[in-house]
Amino acid sequence: METYTEAIKNLYNITEIKEYFNFSKFASFLCTNDIMPIPYETVSFKKNTYPLTEIVPTGGLEDDRAAAEFIYIIESGIATMEKEDIVLDIKASDDIVGFSDLFTFNSSNYSYKVISNVMNVVKFNKAHVVDKLLNTQEGYLYHYSYTLRERQNLEFKERIRREKAESKVVLAIHHLLDKLNLLNVEKSDLYTEFPITMVTMANYVHLNVNTVSTVLHNLMKLGIVKINNKQIFVNIGKIKSYIIDIERQY
């Protein structure tokens, strides 16, 4: 007979949660679910604009405080998640801008800056989302799924903090390629465009730009990356092989 502990483990099986409650399905759950459908709006943000800025509950401009009343599910485009100008994470398709502050209204602990030419999002009122998450079983599981993903991001950032500069950069590029769904894209060219600038990468891995530049030029000699007009391109096959070598030493 299945024990209580085994039953709980099965209920919260990470593989199952990721498959059935991933965030590519979250917008559909909010919009079209038969129970408590939520009104939404599709909007776009241009490069270098901020859908949300870091503000405390008692401060900030009125427009910024109003923006903090919403969350944004990204349909396409890329944004940085920042705290005091430090890049903590990169948000891309199916990620959510503002979900980390879901239960705090009129404030945002983080700023989000669009770094792609445009970012298309689905906009939801935060209060409506909270109401649905707390009053549906699926809502709780979507929130749990998000918590798991954020924990994995934190574990990754903690890991690369202990790595040497070259390993930091390679692991970060591989991690972000995966987040951007570019690792398994079939291409006729050996190299895949990496849509993150050297400056943003340096901020993300907590290295100075000169160090990242030196690492990238070393990786060019190995054929892992190439740089054309400051744009980074990655050889997916070679970076995967490099990651295997790093894991063997870890």
pLDDT tens digit string along 38-57?
899 999 999 999 998 887 55
d(CA 160, CA 172): 8
The token pair that represents 238 in the structure block: 């070679």
- Segment 235-247, tens digit of pLDDT: 999 999 998 887 7
Average model confidence (pLDDT) across the chain: 85
d(CA 244, CA 235): 15
Give me the pLDDT at residue 184, please: 79
Close Cβ partners of 141 (under 8 Å, ≥ 6 residues apart):
17, 20, 21
pLDDT band at 1; cut points 50, 70, 90: very low
Number of alpha helices (DSSP H) and beta strands (DSSP E) in the chain: 10, 10
d(CA 54, CA 60): 8
Question: For residue 245, what are the CA distances in angstroms to 66, 170, 250?
Answer: 48, 11, 9
Higher per-residue pLDDT: 32 or 86: 86
- The segment with the largest mean pLDDT, out of 11-20, 177-186, 196-205, is 196-205
Give me the pLDDT at residue 145, please: 84
Q: What is the mean pLDDT of residues 203-224?
A: 96
- Segment 148-162, tens digit of pLDDT: 888 888 899 998 988
User: What pTM did the predictor assign?
Assistant: 0.84
Phi, psi of 114, deg, nearest 5 = -75, 125
The rounded percent of the chain whose pLDDT value lies above 90 is 46
